[in-house]
Chain A
């Protein structure tokens, strides 16, 4: 059983560009959350998707948007990239639409570098 997978593993973009990160949840999971982890810091909650809708959002600007597909996979889009967007982006999935964090599994992350 594959766990949470994310692609790509690493990405380098230029300031002002746009980026799309992808996540496939663990089998049987239908809820996907995205986190941003800057170097030396803990993860910060960006948003969560359930039933193809954004259910909850953290303190991130509208440049950060997402999507969930019928197969529960998800994308994170970031527009007008800033140097400060350089971070490890983590995807987490959980089952049964509950979003219960103690049943949350994390992917390995996508390392985004903005130059």
Chain B
């Protein structure tokens, strides 16, 4: 079945770039997403990429997709303390609605 894996923790200094990595197993994944979850809150969709794309940039966020290796990354430029949160990678196929999530990467930004 589908599986999504992420490293559990990442710590960076304010102003540095953060890179969060994710691997997935389902070769039929069509959509890949990054969500942010702050303490006590639901999930906020940060960005997504279609499987026919290699890269997507949205302000401070850059998503890179290596479909051959089934590897997805999220780069946050100029990381701020407000970026401290749990970041989830997720994937879905063309099946409507069902997304498979990783267990999240806790990003800690130190001043």
Binding site for B on A (CB under 8 A): 4, 31, 33, 40-45, 48, 55-56, 58, 90, 92, 94, 98-102, 104-109
Contact = CB atoms under 8 A, between A and B. Distances in A.
A31 B97 contact: yes
B102 to A, nearest CB: 5
Which 8 A-B residue pairs are closest in the complex by CB-CB distance? A99-B96, A42-B101, A99-B97, A106-B42, A48-B97, A106-B43, A102-B48, A108-B42
Contacts, number: 69
Contacts of A4: 42
A44 B100 CA distance: 7
Contact of B96 (A42, A56, A107, A108): A56
B41 A108 contact: yes
B95 A102 contact: no
Contacts of B98: 33, 45, 48, 56, 58, 101
Contacts of B33: 101-102
Query: Chain B interface secondary structure, helix, strand, loop or mixed?
Result: strand
Given A42-B104, A45-B98, A102 B45 contact: yes
Interface string B38-82: 001111110010000000000000000000000000000000000
B107 interface: no
Contact of B97 (A90, A94, A108, A109): A94
B31 A102 contact: yes
Measured as residues with beta carbon below 8 angstroms from the partner, the interface class of chain B is: 20 to 34
Contact of A100 (B42, B43, B96): B96
Contacts of B92: 101
A43 B96 contact: no
17 contacts: A4-B42, A31-B96, A33-B98, A42-B103, A42-B104, A43-B88, A44-B101, A48-B97, A56-B96, A98-B96, A100-B96, A101-B33, A101-B90, A101-B97, A104-B97, A106-B43, A109-B42
Nearest to A102: B48
Which of A41, A42, A92, A94 is the most central at the interface, judged by chain B CB atoms within 10 Å of its CB?
A42
A8 B96 CA distance: 27
A16 B97 CA distance: 30
